Structure 1
Amino acid sequence: MAASSSNPSFIVEIGEEYPSPSHVYTPILVTVKLSSKDRYNAWKTQILCLLTSHNMLGFINGKVVRPKGNVPRKLARETEAWMRSDSIVKSWILGSVSEQATMYVVDRLMCKIPNADFTAKDLWDELKCIYAPEIIPPEIGETEIITEEDAKSKYKSKEVTNEDEREKIESKTEAYKFLYEGIVKRKMNWVNHILDEEKVYVTDIITIHGNTALHLAVVTSKDPEFFEELLKKTPENISLTDLKNSEGRTLLHFAAIFDNTPAAKILVEKYPRMLIQKDNDGQTPLAVALSNLHTETAKCLLNNIDTDIHKDTLFSGTSGVELLVLAISSKDFELAGTLLSLYSNLDSDVVLMAIAQNYPCELSFWERRAAVFEDIPILNVTVFSFVKRRVQTRDDALSLLTDVCLLTRRSISSSLHKNYYTNPILEATRQNSPEVVKIIVYLIPDAFWIASEDGHNVIQYAVINRSEKIYNLLNEMSEHKNVYKTSKDSFGNNLLHLAARLAPAEKLNLISGAALRIQYELQWYKEVERFVCSLNITQKNSFGETPQMVFTRTHKDLVTDGEKWMKSAAESYTITAALITTIVFAAAITVPGGNNQNTGVPIFTNNLAFTIFAISDAMSLFTAVMSLLMFLSILTTRFAEEDFLYKLPRKLIIGLVTLFISTTTMIIAFGAALFLVFGQKNASLLIPIGALTGLTITFFVALQFPLVVDLMRATYGRSIFGRNTDYIPVPFNI
C-alpha cells in the first residue's frame, strides 16, 4: 500500500492500481473542449496524454475494472478506491466537454444505465460513438478496427467452439489491423503481402462503420496508381457497384465526399452505374460533391454523364432540381450553367428562387472602372484579376438567370408561369436585386404584375422591405408608374402607409446608431410622400389611420432609442469639449518659457514654434467652445420625429467636426510647446515630437471620423433614390 508520491499533486490512496491524483486543473491541461466531430481528435489526444501521465489510462480502455473478490472488507475498501479513481477520470472527461455536449451525453447514458451508474469507460465509449469522425487517424490497436466479436458475426455462421477456430479469427483480426495501417501509409508491398496470404480481402469490412479497405484507400490517398493496384485485388465474385458501407455509400460517394478527383475519375470510367447509385439519404455522388463544394470532383462526374439513363435519373424530379440549387448556393454559376444544359424542364420555382437568393451584388464604382481597363497588359495585376473574377461571376449569373427563364418559358405552359416566377421575383425584390427583376420581367413580361400573399405588388413590396434599387425602377417606367400613386392593398393602405411601417430588422441592423436609423426611416417616408398624390398624405386605411399616424405608432420605440443615443453621445462629447476648453485656456495664459518681466511679452514671441503654439491653442479654444455649445443645444432639443431628419444630425455633425479640429489643434499646440521648452538646443527632438503628434491625430481620426462620415453621407450625401443601377442589356419599359 503506497501512501503518496513525492509529487504533491499526485496522491495514491490504495495501491498503484487505483491512483487518486488531486489538484489537477483540467482546463489548463485540456485546452480544446469537445463540442463537435472536428474537435474530437485534438480533444482525444489531450485526454489520452492526461490519463497516461497519471497512470489512469486503464479506466477507459477496460484494463482496470471494478474489483472482485471473496473478502468483504477488502473488496469494499478496494471498490471504494476504484470508484474514487473512476470518478476522477469521469470528472476530467466531463470537465473537458462543452456544456451542451455534457448534457447530451449524460442524458443518453442515463437512458441506457439506471441511476446514472455509468463508468468512465461508458462515458468514453459514448463520446466516441457520438463525436468520433467516420475515419479516425490510424493507430494500431485502436478500437476502430473490427473486433474479434465482429469477426465472429461476420465471418462465422456459428459460435467458436475450439481453439483452432479462435486462432483463425484472431489471426484475421490482426491481418485487418496491418491492412488498415498499410493502406493509410500507402505501403503497397506491405498490402500485397497481407492480401497474398488470402486471409483477408480488400472488400472486407475493417471498420465499425462498415467501411472496406477500398473505402479507406479513397479517403487516405489521392495516388491513382496506388488506388488502381488495390482495385485489381478485388475478388472476381464481388461487384464493386454493390460495395457499400453502413450508410449506403459506394466508393464513388467517398471520392465525392473527400474530394478525391483521381479516384472518382477511375471509378466513374470503370463503373458508370455508380453515378446513379444513392446512399441511405437518397443522395447520388454528384449531389454529395456539390453539397460539399467540391467543384473539381463534380465536374469530373459531369464529364462522364453520357447516357440517357444517367440524365433521366440525375436531372429530373425533385432530386434533380436539388443539384442545380446546390451549385447555385455554392455561387458556382458556371457549373450551374453546365448542369442546366442537361435539363429538359424544371419542376418548380426553387431554381429561380435560389438565383434570387444568391445573385452576386453589384460592382462598386471603382470595380466598374477597373473592369474597363482590365485588358491593358500593364495593369493586369492581382487587383484586376480579382475584379475580373467578380465580373465573370456576375456574367455567369446573368447568363444562368436568362437560360432558366427561357427554359421555363419554353417548357411550361404560359398559364402556369405564375407559379414559377411569383416567389422568385418577390425574393429578388426583398434582396434588392434589380438585375434579377429586370431579366425576369423582360423575358416573362407578366411577372411584374404579380402580388404577394398580402396583395402587395413589386413596388409596394419594395417599399415595405426598403429595397431602394427596386423602388428606383419607377424612374424607368413609362406612364404605368402613375398607377402606383393611387394603388392600395387589401387593408386600404396606400404606398405612403407602407412607407410609414417600421423597416425589417435586417435592414435597420445595417445602420449604426438609433439616430441614423430613424433618419433613414424618415428619408424613405419623405421620398414616398413626394411621389404619391397629395390626397394620399391624409388618406386613412381600413383601421382609420393616416400614414403619419402609422409612422408615429410603429416608430415610437425607435424614436425613444434615438433620443437616448443622441443624448448619451452629446453628454460624452460635452465632457470632452469642456476638458479641452479648460486645458487650452490655461495654456494660453501660462505660455511656455514665461514672459519678459519688464515688458510682459512672452520670451519666445519671435520663435516660429511659438507662433504655431499660439495659433493652434487659439483655434483649439474657440472650436472647443463651439463644440461645447453645440452639444449643449442637442441636450435641450425637444427630440421630435422631424428633428431626426436634418436638425439633430446637422448639430451632431457640427459638434463632432469642431471637436475634431479642437482636439487636433490641441495636440499640435502641445507638440509645439514641448519643442519650445526642450528642443531649442536639440533640433533632432522635433522628429519624435512630430511622429507622436501625427500618430495621436491618426489614432483619433481612425476612431471618431467614421461616425462623422456616416452622418455626413446620410444627411448631405447623394440620395439613395434615383440612382442608376449597373447596366443590364435589356430594356425596361413596362
Structure 2
Amino acid sequence: MAGSSSSLPSSREANSYPYPSHVSAPNFVTVKLNDRDTYDVWQMQMMCLLQSHDMLSFISSHALGKEKVGDDDMLWKRSDALVKGWILGSLSQKTLEYFFKPISNKDLTAKDVWDKLQSVYGPSVQDDAAGAHYDDQERIRREESTGKTIDQETEGEKELRNEAEKKEKHTGYLYDATLRQNILLINRILSRNVVTLRDKITINGNTALHVAVGTCNNRKFLVNMLNLATKDDLPSLDMRNSEGSTPLHVAAIVGNTEAARLLLEKNNDLLFEKDNDGRMPVARALSNMYKDTFIYLLDQCLLEMGDKFDDIDGCDLLVNIISSKDYGSAYFLVYNRIDSFLTHIDLVLMAIAQNFPSKLNCWERYSIRCGSREFTFSNYNFESLHKFKFIEALEGKEANYKFAKKLLSFICSTLKNKRLPRSVHHYYNNALLEATRQNAYEVVKIIVYRIPNAIWSSNEDGHNIIQYAVINRSEKVYNLLYQMSEHKNTYRTIRDRFGNNLLHLAARLAPSNKLNPISGAALQLQFELQWFKEVESFVCPLNIIQKNWFGETPQMVFTKQHKDLVIDGEKWMKETAQSYTITAALITTIVFAAAITVPGGNKQEIGIPVFAKRTAFTISLFTSVTSLLMFLSILTARFSEQDFLFRLPRKLIIGLTTLFISTAAMLVAFGATLFLVFCDNNQDILIPIVALTFLPIVCFAALQFPLIKDLVSSTYFRRNVFGKKSDDPFY
C-alpha cells in the first residue's frame, strides 16, 4: 500500500496537475472535429470536459509547462499529454491526416494543438477583450480551486506567469518592428532573449520572417532579416505557419520575387518543401498569377530538381501551368524534362485538350500586322502600335497558340518513338475524346497526324471521334470529314453496337452545354434541325429510313427526343409574337389616324392635304400593318418540327424588321409634325427635336438588335459552319 500511495501525487500536486485518466472523453465530446461547421460545438464540449476536471489551464495563455523542472515537469507533462490525447482523439481522420501528418516536429503541447486547430477552424481575428475576460475567469477559477490568490502564488508560479506575459509583450513588439522594417529595433528585441525568430507571432502561426517576406520588398531589410535568421546556425528558414507554409511559400503567394531569390540563396531545399495542401512554392506562385515569381521558381526547379522532383510532382505542376494557359513555360518544362512526365503524360494531354487556346481570327491577325508597322500622316511619322495593350495581348495570344501546337506535337512525337510501359493508345485516347467533346479540332488534327492509329480511338460505347463529334455537336471536328480521303465513306454507313447510324446519333438531343447558349427554345430546335439535315445530306440515302436494334428510324428518334423542345419552342414563338402584335396594332391605329389628318390642312381646290407627299406618314402605316400580319401568321401557324427550320424564324425576322421601320417612321413623322406646327420653322428648336426623336429609335434598336441578330445568324449563316474549311488532308 505504501508503494502504491507513493506513486500518487500529493493534494497540492493533484490540484495543480490533475490526471483523471479514468475519464472517457467520447462521453463528453460527441462531435468529431471535421470542418468549420463543427468547430463551435466541438470547442464547447471540449471546454466543458476540461473545466469539469480542472484542466483548462493546459490550453490557456499561461500554459508554459515546458519551462517547469524536476517533479513538477514530469507531473505537468503527464497531465498535458492526457489533455492532448483527449483533443487528438476527438478529431476526424481527415483532420488528423491533413493538419498533423506533414508536421515534422511531433513534440507539441496541448496548447500548441489547441491553438493550431483554433487558427484553422476558429474565428479569423482573435478577440482580445474576450481573451482577457477568459484569462480573468481562469484566474478566478484557479484561485477558487487552489484556495490561493495571485499574491499567495509560489515564487515559481509567479515567475512563470511573469515570463509568459513578458513573452507575449515582446511578441507584439517584434511584430510591429517587422511591419515597420526597423532592423535596429528587431535586433534590440532579440538581444533580450525573450523571443526568437522561430517564435510564432501571429494567430495563423507566422514567424517574423514570414511577416517580413509577405510585407516587404526592401532588399536591404530582407538581407538583414535572413542574416539574423541564419545567425549561429539557427534553422529559422524552414519554419511553417498553421497552413504548413514556409517563408518561400509566402513569398510565392504574394509574388515577392526578390525575397524568393534571397531565401533560395540561403537554402535551396525550400524549393521542394510542400505545405499542408501538398503544394510547392512554384505551384503557389502559379495559382496566384504571379508570372515573374513563377518563372524564376520554375527555372530554379529545372536547375535543382534531380531526384527531388518526382514524376507526380512534375505532372501536377505541368497540369497547373497548362490550366493557367501559360504554354510557353509548359513547352520549356516538357522540352527539358520530358522523361519526368511520361508515366502520367495522359493527364498532361487531358489538360491540353481541356485548355487548348483558340486561333486568332482574321481581324486579330490584321490588327497585329497593322500594329507592327510605322505609318505617316500629314508629314508626321507615327511609331508602331506595339505599345498598345490590346496589340500586346493579341501578340501574346498568338505566341501562346503557337507554343500550344509545338507542345502537343512534341509530346505526340515522343509518345510515338518512346518505349512505354503501356500501349500508346492508353495515353492519348481519353484526351482525344475530350478534345472532340470540347470542339478542339486542332488537338484532334495534331494527334491524328502524329499518331495515325488514333483515328480509330473510341469511347466506352464504341463511338469514334466522328460519331462522338455528332453526339456533342462539335462542328469543327465533324468538318474534318470533308478533309479526309476515301476513308470518309466509312462513316456514311457506320453503325454502333445498338445499330445506330450517324443520322440516329444526330437525332439525339444535344448536350445542355450546347443548347443553353442559344437564346430561345425555337432557335435551339432550329439548331438541332440544322444538324439533322447536315448529317442527312452526308449519309447514304438508305440510312435515312434505316432502323436501329430498337426498331426506330432516325426521324422517330428525333421526334421522340425533341418532343418537349417542340412544345417549348411553340410557347416561346407564341409569347414573342403576342407581345409584338400588341405593339404593332397600337402603332397601326395611331399612324392611321395621323395619316388621314395630316397637319397643314387641305387644299381648297382639290381637297388633298397640303403635306400629303410627306412619305414618313405612309411608311409607318404600311410597315406596321405588314408587321402585324406577320405576327398574326405566327400565332396561327401549325408549329410542326420542320417549320422551326426556316419558315417560322423568317416570319419573325420580317415582323421585327418591319416593326422597327414603322416605329422609326412614326417617330420621324411626329417629330416633323412638332416642328411644322409648333415651332414656326425655328431652326434653334430643330436639333432638340431630332435628338428626342432618335432617342427612342436608338433604344429600340439596342434592345431588340440581339434577338434580330440571333435570328438572322442562325437562319441564314449557321448553315455555313458545315463543309470543307481547309485543303489540308486530315487522314
Q: Which band: TM-score by shorter chain?
A: 0.7 to 0.9
> Distance between the aligned counterparts of 2:224 and 2:265, measured in 1?
16
Q: Which range is displaced more, 659-668 or 675-684?
A: 675-684
Q: Identify the match of residue 209 of structure 1 among 204, 218, 221.
A: 204
Indicate if the aligned counterparts of 1:175 and 1:200 stay in contact, CA closer than 8 A.
yes
Counterpart for residue 460 of structure 1? 467
How many residues align structurally? 599
Give the aligned partner of residue 590 of structure 2: 583
For the Cα contact (< 8 Å) 1:464–1:498, is it kept in 2? yes
- 2:342 is paired with a residue whose SS is coil
Q: Distance in 2 between matches of 1:318 and 1:725?
A: 40
What's the offset of the Cα at 1:106? 7.3
Matched, 1:332 2:332: no
Structure 2 letter corresponding to 1:380: L
Q: Which residue of 2 aligns with 1:88?
A: none
One-letter amino acid matched to 2:691: A
Q: Give me the whole-angstrom Cα distance separating, in 1, the residues matched to 2:351 and 2:651.
A: 45
Does 1:269 find its partner at 2:269? Answer: no
Are 2:192 and 1:187 equivalent residues in the alignment? no
* Superposition TM-score, scaled by structure 2 size: 0.77
SS state at 2:223 partner: helix
1:685 aligns with 2:685: yes
Corresponding residue for residue 20 of structure 2: none
- Partners in 2 of 1:657 and 1:362 — Cα distance? 34
Equivalent residue of 1:161, what SS? helix
Match of 1:343, SS state, is: helix
Closer, same or farther in 2 for the Cα pair 1:550/1:718, shift >3 Å?
A: closer
Tell me if 1:198 matches 2:193: yes
- Conserved in 2, the CA contact under 8 Å of 1:110 and 1:116? no
Does the Cα contact within 8 Å between 1:109 and 1:116 map onto a contact in 2?
no
Name the Cα RMSD after superposition.
3.0
1:677-699: CA deviations, max 9, x gaps?
12224221110111122222111
Give 2:239's aligned amino acid: L
Q: Is the 8 A contact 2:36 2:122 kept in 1?
A: no
Distance 1:250 1:386, change over 3 A: closer
Tell me the residue number matched to 1:109. 40
2:353 maps to 356
1:470 and 1:335 mapped to 2: Cα distance?
A: 28
1:106–1:415 distance in 2 versus 1, CA, 3 Å: closer
Alignment of 1:106-505 (within 5 A): 108-113=39-44, 130=121, 161-234=156-229, 235-305=231-301, 310-314=305-309, 316-340=310-334, 341-344=336-339, 345-348=341-344, 349-378=346-375, 380-381=385-386, 382=388, 383-413=390-420, 416-505=423-512
Who is 1:80 aligned against?
none
Residue in 2 that maps onto 1:659: 659
- Partners in 2 of 1:685 and 1:377 — Cα distance? 46
The whole-number CA distance in structure 2 between the counterparts of 1:105 and 1:310 is: 37
Render the CA deviation track for 1:573-611: whole Å, top value 9, x for unaligned.
111110000000010122223335675343x53xxxx74
- Quote the Cα distance in structure 1 between the aligned partners of 2:532 and 2:221: 69
Structure 1 residue 443: deviation in Å? 1.0
Q: Is the 8 A contact 2:503 2:543 kept in 1?
A: yes
Write the deviation string for residues 477-499 of structure 1: whole angstroms up to 9, x where unpaired: 00000000010111110000000
Partner of 1:567: 574
Q: Contact 2:530/2:645 (CA < 8 Å) preserved in 1?
A: yes
- Matching of residue 533 in structure 1 with residue 540 in structure 2: yes
Instruction: State which drifts further: 693-702 or 337-346.
Output: 337-346
Provide, for residues 508-528 of structure 1, a one-character-per-residue CA deviation record: whole Å limited to 9, x for no partner. 011111111100100000000
Shift in CA distance, 571/291, structure 1 to aligned 2, threshold 3 Å? same
Between stretches 272-281 and 562-571, larger displacement belongs to 272-281
Provide the rounded CA distance (Å) in 2 between the counterparts of 1:126 and 1:662: 70
Offset of 1:618 from its aligned partner?
0.5
Query: 1:129: how far off?
Result: 5.8
Counterparts of 1:675 and 1:222 in 2: how far apart (Å)? 68
Taking structure 1 as the reference length, the TM-score comes to 0.76
CA deviation vs aligned residue, 1:73-127 (integer Å, no higher than 9, x gap): xxxxxxxxxxxxxxxxxxxxxxxxxxxxxxx97764345447999xxxxxxx999
Is there any run of 5+ residues in structure 1 with no aligned partner, and where?
A: 1-103, 118-124, 150-158
How far the C-alpha of 1:563 sits from its partner, in A, is 0.2
- The CA distance in 1 between the partners of 2:238 and 2:572, in whole Å, is 67
CA gap of 1:687–1:178, structure 2 versus 1, over 3 A, is same
Amino acid at match of 1:451: S
Distance across 2 between alignment mates of 1:113 and 1:725: 68
Query: Residues 440 and 182 of structure 1: is their aligned pair in 2 closer, same or farther, counting only changes over 3 Å?
Result: same
Q: Distance in 1 between matches of 2:548 and 2:724?
A: 33
Distance 2:301 2:119 in 1: 39
Q: Kindly state the Cα deviation for residue 228 of structure 1 after the two structures are TM-superposed.
A: 1.2
Q: Secondary structure at the match of 1:592?
A: coil
Map Cα deviations across residues 280-299 of structure 1 (whole Å, 9 max, x no partner).
33322222222333222121
CA distance in 2, matches of 1:112, 1:302: 42
CA distance in 2 between partners of 1:223 and 1:726 (Å): 56
Moved over 6 A (4+): 114-117, 125-128, 139-144
Q: 1:245: how far off?
A: 2.7
Aligned with 1:244: secondary structure? coil
List gaps (5 residues or longer) in structure 2. 1-34, 49-115, 139-153, 376-383
Instruction: Give the superposition deviation at 1:553.
Output: 0.5
Distance 1:105 1:439, change over 3 A: closer
Structure 2 counterpart of 1:329, one-letter code = S
Could you give the per-residue CA deviations for residues 382-406 of structure 1, whole angstroms, max 9, x where no partner exists? 2433322221221121122222222
- Which whole-Å CA distance do the structure 1 matches of 2:286 and 2:155 have between them? 47
Measured at CA, do residues 106 and 428 of structure 1 come closer, stay the same or move farther in structure 2, by a change above 3 Å? Answer: closer
1:524 maps to 531
Counterpart of 2:443 in structure 1: which amino acid? V
Deviation string, structure 1 residues 6-46 (Cα, Å, up to 9, x no partner): xxxxxxxxxxxxxxxxxxxxxxxxxxxxxxxxxxxxxxxxx
Aligned residues of 2:440 and 2:477 also touching (Cα < 8 A): yes
On the 8 A contact 2:359/2:398 being kept in 1, the answer is no
Structure 2 residue identity aligned to 1:328: I
- What residue number does 2:670 align with? 670
